[in-house]
Amino acid sequence: MGASGKTCAVTKPSILILGARSDIGIAVAHKFAAHGHPIQLAARQSKKLDAEKANLQIRYGVPVTLHEFDALLPETHAEFLAMLPELPAIAVSIVGMMGSQEGSESDYLLASCIMRSNFEGPANILSLLANRFEERGSGTLVGLSSVAGERGRATNYVYGSAKAGFTAFLSGLRNRLAKRGVHVVTVLPGYVATEATESIHLPARLTAQPSEVAERIVVAVERKKNVIYVRPVWRLIMLIIRLIPEAVFKRIRI
């Protein structure tokens, strides 16, 4: 209580969301804003988030800022961070691109874009944030990877290989920063019902909603989890897939 008897407002740490125009990015913004966190929304064509910015401010009464960000332009990342109103306490990378496996087999530019979007771009910006968080001695980095990275499969090995690299990157970053006051969370969602997957028939038991992913991220940050499967059943599924002998695995299509 202050001298006037009024309760002092508690300022919550700010959240940076990279890839904020995605369905999951917007859901994450709502979950953190509902907990009173100021939100920094970063994405390509960030002006398209004007309505969402107003919605978050009105609904939750938190400050919200928009920032132009392109994961595929690493030469702009340092300037992007310098232009933020403040260094965030928590950064969540939702950056990624599923693309088409069939298309990427015949179009090397598409394959390159998928790999850069899912590994190079998010790894570069999180590296810069990691250095700044380490200097400060605090912070949390969250990276959205995929169960597709746990074993290469014919149906999505270009996307999966990029996510495998990103998962390994996050693991190494977590190991490096563990004694520096900075925590790293790896998120493995499995199937998620988004605009990108709306044309695909997905099994309901294995498919999460964006709000479910966002809730799990908030909990993981609060409880300092290391690796989370949004739906725990994916942990068992991927364990089984990893244990299939290669002589058998190469003859099946899953």
Q: Give catalytic residues, as residue numbers.
A: 159
User: What would the two tokens of residue 52 be?
Assistant: 């969402």
User: What would the two tokens of residue 47 be?
Assistant: 């002006």
pLDDT at residue 21, as a whole number: 97
User: What would the two tokens of residue 238 be?
Assistant: 């991927």
What is the radius of gyration, based on Cα positions, of the chain?
A: 19
Residues of the chain scoring pLDDT < 50? 1-8
Give the start-to-end residue ranges of the domains of the chain. 15-249
pLDDT at residue 10, as a whole number: 55
Query: Which residue stretches of the chain are H helix?
Result: 23-34, 50-60, 77-82, 101-106, 108-115, 121-136, 157-177, 210-223, 233-243, 246-249
Pick the CATH number of 15-249 from 3.40.50.720, 3.30.70.1230, 3.40.50.300, 3.30.2020.10: 3.40.50.720
Exposed e or buried b per residue across 195-213, where buried means at least 16 C-beta atoms within 10 angstroms of its C-beta: eeeeeeeeeeeebbebebb
pTM given for the model: 0.93
pLDDT tens digits for range 60-73 = 999 999 999 999 99
Give the contacts of 180 (CB within 8 A, at least 6 positions apart).
Answer: 133, 134, 137
